[in-house]
Amino acid sequence: MTETRIIDVECKCGQELARYKKVKRGSLQKMYLDMILEDRAGVFSRKFEVQENIYSPNCKKRIATIYMIHGRPAAKINHGAVKSTRT
């Protein structure tokens, strides 16, 4: 059984980053770009190169790095900058 939850991802500075459709339980490790429902800071809706960094538009901290995971582009979360989210 897969459980899907909609979560809000926020930077530690308070900047809203994304509304994300999370499938597995546990803490948020990565966000598949095609599962981001709302790109609230306007930082995920473009073409990325692998290992490109994404920054918070507010505090300029690195919030994620792009990797290919199971053949899909995904933003691997930098836990130092993003509020931890568990489901």
Residues that bind Zn ion (CB under 5 A): 11, 13, 15, 56, 58-59
Nearest distance in Å: CB 3, Zn ion: 29
- Determine the length of the chain: 87
Q: Which amino acid is present at 67? A: Y
Residue 21 or 61: which CB sits closer to Zn ion?
61
- Please tell me the distance from the alpha carbon of residue 64 to that of residue 60, in angstroms, as a whole number: 12
- Please tell me the distance from the alpha carbon of residue 72 to that of residue 8, in angstroms, as a whole number: 21
Residue 48 or 55: which CB sits closer to Zn ion?
55
Nearest distance in Å: CB 39, Zn ion: 15
Nearest distance in Å: CB 63, Zn ion: 7
Residue 12 or 21: which CB sits closer to Zn ion?
12
- Please tell me the distance from the alpha carbon of residue 36 to that of residue 74, in angstroms, as a whole number: 10
